[in-house]
Chains A and B, each alone.
Chain A
Amino acid sequence: DAGITQSPRHKVTETGTPVTLRCHQTENHRYMYWYRQDPGHGLRLIHYSYGVKDTDKGEVSDGYSVSRSKTEDFLLTLESATSSQTSVYFCAISESQGGDQPQHFGDGTRLSIL
Chain B
Amino acid sequence: AQSVSQHNHHVILSEAASLELGCNYSYGGTVNLFWYVQYPGQHLQLLLKYFSGDPLVKGIKGFEAEFIKSKFSFNLRKPSVQWSDTAEYFCAVNARGYQKVTFGTGTKLQVIP
Q: Which residues of A contact B (CB under 8 A)?
A: 31, 35, 40-45, 48, 50, 56, 58, 90, 92, 97-100, 102-108
Contact = CB atoms under 8 A, between A and B. Distances in A.
Interface of B: 6, 9, 31-32, 34, 42-46, 49, 51, 90, 92-106
A26 to B, nearest CB: 16
B32 A98 contact: yes
A58 B90 contact: no
20 contacts: A31-B99, A41-B105, A42-B90, A42-B105, A42-B106, A43-B90, A43-B103, A44-B103, A58-B100, A92-B44, A97-B98, A98-B95, A98-B97, A99-B31, A99-B34, A99-B93, A102-B49, A103-B46, A103-B101, A107-B43
A14 to B, nearest CB: 26
Contacts, number: 62
A5 B54 CA distance: 35
Contacts of B46: 102-104
A87 to B, nearest CB: 14
A50 B99 contact: yes
Contacts of B102: 45
B42 A107 contact: yes
Contacts of B32: 98-100
Given A42-B106, A58-B100, 16 more contacts: A40-B105, A42-B6, A43-B44, A45-B101, A48-B99, A48-B100, A90-B43, A98-B95, A98-B97, A98-B98, A99-B101, A100-B94, A103-B101, A104-B46, A105-B43, A107-B42
